[in-house]
Structure 1
Amino acid sequence: MKKFFLYLLQIVIAVIIVMFLIPKQLKINVENQKKYVNALMEKGLHLQAVKEYQKLLDASNLSRRESANISYLIGNIYMEDLNDYDGALTSYLKVRIFDPKSPLNSETDQKIIECLERTGRSFAAQKEMDKLTLLKEPKPVSRGMVVAKIGKREITIEELENQINKLPAYLQEIYKTKPRQMEFLKQYIYTELLYDGAKRRNYDRDKDIIEQAFQIKRSLMVQKLIEEEIKDKIKVSDSEVKLYYESHKKEFVENEKQKSLEEVKDKIIKILESEKAREAEKELIERMLKAEKVVIYEK
């Protein structure tokens, strides 16, 4: 009997060791593991980094928030470094499961949509985008007759007319008839579909596109400033037109016949406006250089 109790005691001790001592030894230090993963990433060892992050997920000492954060990081590696969008999608979906209230959810939702789009699941991507749109934006009130639908989105005659009115005057004339408006509507829908596809791929966050958009915006702002500054300085008087005509009569001869002032007046006005604009722009730049005390150091 005594031997039996000793044997039983040994079993109990062994169980205690297995249940308490060994797991403690296997627990992973989160911060050290993250440092190790960062070192792997710096060396371009992305798959190994994913495996080490996975070890953290398998550890029993992580909170749901920590598990969601690590899943997000794994998703980023799959997406940005490995171009494995299925792997990324799997990880991003885990973020939602581990922590439905994670502050990363907004970013995660966008990346899920991009992964769906890039893996050929455009319909699923659009459904996800529609869900987000419904959550973030109030349902628009339909105004006017509906002329087309893109999924649940309605395109009204008012929207169509507004788009046409944004065109240059000569194009507005072209799209006055109903058949032409239908052509424009189809082209507008094609563009919207492509734009939606680009948004699902998060191209609105693409660094090159952002830089190009900034440069275009910058140029437009500069042009607007110049126009505002010089608009009152490029007015051309009748006397200036006449003087230019008299000084450049030889330039207005066609088939050995001298053109009259009235025939070339508009052309002369444009020439003089262009000259005045260049001069006014030059003065503006010189004034700003002086005001801002610009110094250029030549090599």
Structure 2
Amino acid sequence: MMQGSKHATISEPRGAPVRRRPPKKIFDRKSTFFSVSVLLLFGILLFVELRGTRTPPPSDGGKGGLSLDYRALAGKLKAVGLHEEAARAYERYLEVGRDLTPESAARIAYTLGKLYLDAGKFEAALDAFYRAELYDPDTELSGEIDAKIVHCLERLGRGVAAQYALDARTRVGGKGDETKESEAVVARIGADTITRRQIEEAFAALPPYLRERFKGKEGKRAFAEKFVAEELLFRKARKLEYDKDPE
């Protein structure tokens, strides 16, 4: 120590190694474990959040799916004149409607038929009107459905079928007689038969000038005989063709 100094300074002996503090670790074992745990927890929370907010696929009202009221949709499309689109919505409603009664199904099918009529789709309209009959045979719309069926048949060029339908439907208890009369067997060719309906439809398909040749009762009888003879020849020729030796 030096005299007169308030503080004494102790000096390290010369030649002694200088002690340095070791550098502080940025990531020790505890902090690394904590960081990994936080990241893992964040990943789990993110996965759960994304899974919970995923948009479910549209459905017809099944569990966990979106429900679409096809009847309401059809009504809106019909109101703006989109008849074909409205018809498709009604078709879908008939497919998935879970609480449809026979009466309501018949009404929907009848409305569907009218939409197809407005769109000029007479075959689809006829199908819908027949479905309306089958859904509810005792429907109060029976008279209107009958008229629409006859109209569709006429527009499809099936005048004979339309006449049969009209005759049967205006006759008391007629719907069951329609098939009996039109399917009356006129001739038999082996196991095959030719019905009155087939002959009448063939006659109706003739050009006007040919129909003139077979006017009246006798003319129609002659046409029936001609039709049966030609049908016999055709079926015989077809059978011979089938029976030919391939070689």
More RCO (CA 8 Å, sep 6+): 1
Report TM bin, short chain.
0.3 to 0.5
Question: Normalized against structure 1, the TM-score is what?
Answer: 0.35
**TM, length-normalised to structure 2:** 0.42
